Amino acid sequence: MSHDPNCIFCKIVAGQIPSRKAYEDEELLAFHDIHPWAPVHVLIIPKTHIASMADVTGDHAPLLGRMAALGPRLMKELGVTNGFRHVINTGADGGQEVYHLHLHVMGGPRPWLKG
């Protein structure tokens, strides 16, 4: 499994930095965002270090599918009943702040209208 010792999300995967976990299995970790943009805001990350969507290949398709499919399950488990949003920021111009692939899943009323 690829790991970047300087990556904050790799440190979360390794248990070096605490997180409020929402889900974990052998390939994925989901945890609550520390700066939420919605009433429910989780990040789903692969445990393997992939810097961004720009680094994704066809070999990653099953992993990306699992990430996308986990979002609705978590929203349901966390009580979101009226819709949610999936967002992946890619690169500096795409608003990516942490260079470890991560899927934001945000639920609640109009999560994109952060005040």
Q: Which of 49, 100, 102, 104 is catalytic?
A: 102
Contact 84/111 with Cβ under 8 angstroms?
yes
Q: What per-residue string of b and e applies to 11-34 under the rule 16 or more CB within 10 Å gives b?
A: bbbeeeeebeebeeeeebbbbebe
Counting the structural domains of the chain, the total is 1
Residue 113 forms part of a structural domain: no
pLDDT at 45 over 90: yes
pLDDT at 13 over 70: yes
What was the pLDDT predicted at 67? Answer: 98
- 3-state secondary structure at position 55: helix
pTM score of the predicted model: 0.92
Residue 41 forms part of a structural domain: yes
> Given pLDDT bands bounded at 50, 70 and 90, which one contains residue 39?
very high
Residue 115 forms part of a structural domain: no
pLDDT at 44 over 60: yes
pLDDT at 114 over 80: no
Residue 112 forms part of a structural domain: no
Active site residue 3: no
Domain holding 16, by residue range, is 8-107
Q: What is the mean pLDDT of residues 23-29?
A: 98
Contacts of 103 by beta carbon, 8 Å cutoff, 6+ apart:
43, 44, 45, 67, 68, 71, 86, 87, 88
Contact 48/1 with Cβ under 8 angstroms?
yes
